[in-house]
Amino acid sequence: MSVASTEAILVIDVQNDFCPGGALAVAGGDEVVPEINRILRDFPVRVFTQDWHPLGHSSFASSHPGRVPFELVDMAYGPQVLWPDHCVQGSDGADFHEDLHVEPADVILRKGFRPEIDSYSAFYENDQITPTGLEGYLRSRGVRRVTLTGLATDFCVAWSALDAARLGFEVNLKLEACRAIDLDGSLDAALAEMEAAGVMLIA
């Protein structure tokens, strides 16, 4: 794989809780690891994200009496899916998959650590206003194109890809290195929205 010096790979949330056996397992989530490892060192800039929730996070169904996982509720910042407790700070579930090559990472960006707001995207909290700082880092490294990999295609990967496109980056989504939750057709909807935004879907 040939990439330019202005390219970055974003490895989104390849953590135990999103892999088989985890609290919010994505079907085949662990299957992305070999492909990410294979292409990782081809990129001059490598960013990993890590869901990093405190106990009792507002996106957890357990924080809302009478609610169950995967219900949709309205938060101050908009609609929010309620999730099973997952990727709790310092837990085994929050660790990266043991076979993922994390050593080459330039940056590990932890998100979702604010108790009152979820953070799907690597660029913004779910209010779409509060930045994570990733845009500034990529600009400082001269990055113009990003390639998205990781979990899950229809949530954190898609939100990251859409934000990257909105910020003016060229964006590739490597389908072979992603897997989806596909909640009520969310995968097809996310793929269509990304294509409409100019995201290149590549094998």
> Is 24 within 8 Å of 31 (Cβ atoms)?
no
- d(CA 166, CA 109) in angstroms, rounded, equals 20
- d(CA 88, CA 17) in angstroms, rounded, equals 9
111 tagged catalytic? yes
Identify the active-site residue in 19, 156, 163, 178. 156
- Up-side HSE of residue 54: CA atoms within 13 Å toward CB? 8
Q: How far apart are the first and last CA of the chain?
A: 12
87 tagged catalytic? no
156 tagged catalytic? yes
Query: Token pair 């994200």 is at which residue?
Result: 49
SS3 state of residue 65: coil
Identify the active-site residue in 30, 85, 87, 111. 111
Active site residues: 13, 111, 156
